[in-house]
Structure 1
Amino acid sequence: MEKKIAEIRKEFEAASFSEIPALIEAYWEDERSGVRNLIGKYEKKLDALDKERERLEAMRQYEHEYEGQYELICGIDEAGRGPLAGPVVAGAVILPKDCEILGLNDSKKLSEKKREELYDEIMEKAVAAAVGIVGPARIDEINILQATYEAMREAVGKLSRAPRILLNDAVRIPGIAIPQVPIIKGDAKSVSIAAASILAKVTRDRLMYEYDKIMPEYGFASHKGYGSKVHIEALQKYGPSPIHRKTFITHFC
């Protein structure tokens, strides 16, 4: 007895990507338009998966370059150098060799929902992952660049496994003896750095949501401390909060 199209659809929906080719082959001779549409839809999904895997493979160029010499490769990136308020956060992530996390990319190119999803997958799959956080008072004390380096050193120091080499987004971190490779726009060129950028961004955004609950008048949940028009107007109306960077707001209040 011929299966109903609804039953076949459920088979496709329940299948993993590795099982889809066998399903396509099984129903290839079925001429019903509903089945042909299903096959066409899932062929496109397989094609998109192939392209995504090609993109991720291109983002492993630095990992492949150093994996023969170094066992534990760590990506480093930060979030929050530019805002007027809140901490700067650094992420450090060591991924397993040839780890596949579909959709992994520079955090700035991803939606908040996608970043949250990828954060969970990164934390689940990583060999080791950690963040370093440096607050506004320290940023004012030593300047944002030095605070960023401090956050990066903290993140590396908190890793449960000691990395053998660091792939950094653009910078060379002083005070670390581990070999380092600064990569311009590294969060779009290295899976390790991309993972670190997501870790840093999601961690910082979550902190800004918590600050928003305490000080809702500033709108931290919407602008995350960056110098938006709404933020500057709130700053001028209410004055600086305890998490504002005093050295960043001299022109606004």
Structure 2
Amino acid sequence: MKVSKLTIKELKEKIEKKDQVSEELIVKLEADSRTGVHKIAQKLRRKEERKKEAKQKFKEMSQYEKKLHQQNYRLIAGIDEAGRGPLAGPVVAAAVILPTDKFILGLDDSKKLNEKKREELFDIIYNQAIDIGVGVVDNQRIDEINILNATYEAMKKAIKDLETNPDYLLIDAEELSDVNIPQQGITRGDSKSISIAAASIIAKVTRDRKLVEYDKEYPHYNFASNKGYGTAEHITALREQGPSPIHRHSFKVVKKST
């Protein structure tokens, strides 16, 4: 690309069409005398640095999977849940088996990502994963067996929902009884393992979408915004309206003021 022969607008248009920008091109842009071209170069440089950081983070978060691959485990399912803390809605767990030959840049604990990034990664994970299983346990079951046991039940459902039998499980902060698959619980695993991070994103987005749908049925509580969590607005609505059919009665705050 002959940088000096192109206008700033033309440069932007050509660069936008490129999937990758070479170091050589960035250097050429940096050497141009125009301020506008320098700004393009700076933006590209920052973008490349972020991509490099993301690749390094992905590498660091692949260490558990890498060690297991060296032990001849091939189908490693990461497992995580979303929805332990909310006052309403289900707890949702996901099990994700990722391929060994793909980079999914940006994978991280779903709580560290904004909604737009989670949605973007959700689609990428579904397109690239070997298999994905989802388990959902509703609020009535949560009230029956408590949230911890409901979380375990959702995780086991997610494993059963897989079409591919995993040969190892990496689980965020938990270990599952009555599951005859080798496993390891990892504290804060959603920020340490790519498989668990992927599961955290699938679980979070799946649950959030359910709460957006519930918002249409029960508009008083603003579930589309709070996703069932105990925001001040949500608690005020509870005191005024009482609980909806999807509220967890075992969570003591869920009651109507008299």
The TM tier, using the shorter chain, reads over 0.9
Q: Which amino acid aligns with 2:104?
A: I
Alignment of 1:1-253 (within 5 A): 2-17=5-20, 19-24=21-26, 30-68=32-70, 69-249=72-252, 252-253=255-256
Q: Which amino acid aligns with 2:135?
A: G
The answer to whether the 8 A contact 2:98-2:195 is kept is yes
Counterpart Cα distance in 2 of 1:251 and 1:8: 58
Counterpart Cα distance in 1 of 2:113 and 2:97: 21
Counterpart Cα distance in 2 of 1:66 and 1:147: 29
Q: Which amino acid aligns with 2:56?
A: E
Counterpart Cα distance in 1 of 2:254 and 2:50: 48
Task: Name the stretch that deviates more: 240-249 or 21-30.
Answer: 21-30
**How many Å apart are 1:22 and its aligned residue?**
4.6
Q: CA offsets per residue over residues 49-69 of structure 1, 9 Å max, x none?
A: 111111111111111111122
Closer, same or farther: CA 28–137 of 1 in aligned 2, 3 Å: closer
| Aligned-residue CA RMSD (Å) | 1.9
Counterpart Cα distance in 2 of 1:4 and 1:228: 51
**How many Å apart are 1:135 and its aligned residue?**
0.5
TM-score after normalising by structure 1: 0.93
Closer, same or farther: CA 218–25 of 1 in aligned 2, 3 Å: closer
**How many Å apart are 1:20 and its aligned residue?**
2.8
Q: Which amino acid aligns with 2:65?
A: E
Counterpart Cα distance in 1 of 2:48 and 2:7: 23
Closer, same or farther: CA 209–27 of 1 in aligned 2, 3 Å: closer
**How many Å apart are 1:43 and its aligned residue?**
2.3
> Partner of 2:214: helix, strand, or coil?
helix
Q: Which amino acid aligns with 2:185?
A: P
Counterpart Cα distance in 2 of 1:153 and 1:197: 15
Q: Could you list the runs of 5+ residues in structure 1 that have no partner in the other structure? A: none
Q: Which amino acid aligns with 2:178?
A: G
TM-score after normalising by structure 2: 0.91
The answer to whether the 8 A contact 1:131-1:155 is kept is yes
| Count of matched residue pairs | 252
> Partner of 2:132: helix, strand, or coil?
strand
**How many Å apart are 1:21 and its aligned residue?**
2.8
Segments ≥4 residues shifted beyond 2 Å: 1-6, 19-41, 249-253
Identity of counterpart residues, as a percentage?
Answer: 52
The answer to whether the 8 A contact 2:247-2:254 is kept is no
> Partner of 1:45: helix, strand, or coil?
helix
